[in-house]
């Protein structure tokens, strides 16, 4: 079994609500102190660590006297606003005991969807790490809406992993790792010790359950590993209930499920494209265009497009779909939706006669396109 953390220099560690709260009833300060101790050990070993922590909404629920996670967005925002105060205070106090400084970083998808804000966020996080500060990251639930929310901190952790080009993503949960079946329903299910990140069979094994406190299930963790692998980062899914789990993983101990990134990291600009959680529109391709993109490394020409869906402007991020509806790529489109519909299925030489102008002969240039 690969010892993924032993040689890792830069880590993103995600801890779920069940590991930092008292079963949803406020923060477990003793648990938070243990996480601070383990991360301090990693810092002493010259490793850089970013912590993605759940718990703000659960803490806010406790402070507000709520027993179940609310569904209304404004109530979630209120709980997060109240709970962030306690969460940040708890981490700050615990890390101070080890002589470490912390920084709170709240992110939304809009922060990463805009190229300039994406670069600013990366620069800030890298600067904090260079200063020896522990960034504590969470989704900015106080302003998030349905259109921009990450939806779970597993996805957020994967995006941060790619953002800072970390070596490894560690997702800590209350389960031992990924099992062949849901162990809560099938006691004889076997633990998957090692697999390739993004392997299709992994998604079939996952239950979709999340508790009334935690949003994500094992499926979100598998998809997060698949996303992190795009930047070459390996993923470990392990139980945060294991004593000193981070330190033991860093020493090379085989704990939990290790998911290996076997693909070469993609270029930073294309990584930004791949990390978009929402797209502005969709282009339905014919079989020839699918082959040109997937097998021949070519740009997307108008003649290969059968349909245009959505409303978008030039420069927007759009998805490229196979005739069966599977997303195979995404990229920055050279024409807005109205003009794209007019030239779809036409040759590049016909663009000027149809539109009266030519910006580019391609709908999406290969340099602005990433295969998924």
Do the bridges between strand 168-173 and strand 102-107 make them parallel or antiparallel, or are there none, so unpaired? unpaired
The pTM assigned to this predicted structure is 0.79
For residues 224-232, give the mean pLDDT. 88
Is position 3 within any domain?
no
Find the mean pLDDT for residues 281-304: 93
My answer on whether 58 and 115 are in the same domain is yes
Of the pLDDT bands very low, low, confident and very high (cuts 50, 70, 90), residue 232 is confident
Structural domain count, the chain: 2
Q: Is 304 found in the same domain as 259?
A: no
Phi, psi of 205 (to 5 degrees): -80, -20
pLDDT tens digits along 247-286 = 999 999 999 999 999 877 777 667 777 777 778 899 999 9
- Confidence at residue 282, expressed as pLDDT on a 0 to 100 scale: 95
Q: Choose among 269, 11, 273, 32: nearest CA to 125.
A: 11
Same domain, 289 and 266: no
For residue 286, the model assigns a pLDDT of 94
Give 345-372 pLDDT, tens digit per residue: 999 999 999 999 988 899 998 888 888 8
Of all residues in the chain, what percent carry a pLDDT higher than 70? 92
List the one residue out of 298, 275, 269, 272 whose CA is nearest residue 285. 298
Q: 159: domain range? A: 10-270
Identify the CATH number of the domain in which residue 355 sits. 2.30.130.10
pLDDT tens, position by position, 103-133: 999 988 778 877 778 878 888 999 999 999 9
217 lies in the same domain as 356: no
Which CATH number is 196's domain given? Answer: 3.40.1160.10
Are the CB atoms for 236 and 253 separated by under 8 Å? no
Query: In this predicted model, what pLDDT tens digit does every residue of 46-93 receive, in sequence order?
Result: 999 999 998 888 889 889 988 888 888 888 888 889 999 999 999 999
Give domain status of residue 4, yes or no: no
Specify whether the CB–CB gap between 228 and 197 falls below 8 A: yes
Beta bridge partner(s), residue 237: 171, 257
pLDDT of residue 314: 87
Q: Could you give the CA distance from residue 304 to residue 302 in angstroms, rounded to a whole number?
A: 5
């Amino acid at each position: 079994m690969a010892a993924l953390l032993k040689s890792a220099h830069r880590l993103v560690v995600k801890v779920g609500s069940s590991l930092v709260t008292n079963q949803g009833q406020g923060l477990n300060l003793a648990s938070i102190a243990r996480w601070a101790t383990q991360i301090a050990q990693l810092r002493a070993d010259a490793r850089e660590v970013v912590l993605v922590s759940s718990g703000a909404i659960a803490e806010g629920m406790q402070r507000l006297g709520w027993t179940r996670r609310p569904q209304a967005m404004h109530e979630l925002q209120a709980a997060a606003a109240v709970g962030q105060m306690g969460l940040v205070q708890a981490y700050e106090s615990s890390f101070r005991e080890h002589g470490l400084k912390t920084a709170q970083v709240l992110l939304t998808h809009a922060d990463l969807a805009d190229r300039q804000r994406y670069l600013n966020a990366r620069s800030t996080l890298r600067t904090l790490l260079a200063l020896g500060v522990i960034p504590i990251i969470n989704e900015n639930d106080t302003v998030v809406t349905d259109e921009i929310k990450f939806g779970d901190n597993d996805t957020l952790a994967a995006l941060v992993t790619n953002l800072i080009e970390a070596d490894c993503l560690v997702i800590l949960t209350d389960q031992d790792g990924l099992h062949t079946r849901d162990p809560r329903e099938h006691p004889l299910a076997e633990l998957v010790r090692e697999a390739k990140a993004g392997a299709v069979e992994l998604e079939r094994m996952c239950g979709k359950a999340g508790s009334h406190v935690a949003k994500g299930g094992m499926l979100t963790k598998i998809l997060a590993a698949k996303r992190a692998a795009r930047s070459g980062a390996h993923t470990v899914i392990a139980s945060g209930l294991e004593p000193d789990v981070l330190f033991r993983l860093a020493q090379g101990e085989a704990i939990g499920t290790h998911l290996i990134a076997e693909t070469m990291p993609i270029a930073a600009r294309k990584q930004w494209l791949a990390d978009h959680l929402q797209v502005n529109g969709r282009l339905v391709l014919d079989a020839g265009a699918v082959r040109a993109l997937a097998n021949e490394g070519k740009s997307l020409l108008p003649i290969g497009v059968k349909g245009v869906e959505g409303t978008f402007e030039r420069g927007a991020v759009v998805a490229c779909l196979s005739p069966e509806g599977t997303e195979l790529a995404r990229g920055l489109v050279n024409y807005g939706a109205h003009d794209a519909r007019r030239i779809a299925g036409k040759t590049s030489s016909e663009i000027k006669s149809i539109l009266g102008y030519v910006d580019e002969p391609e709908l999406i240039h290969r340099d602005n396109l990433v295969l998924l």
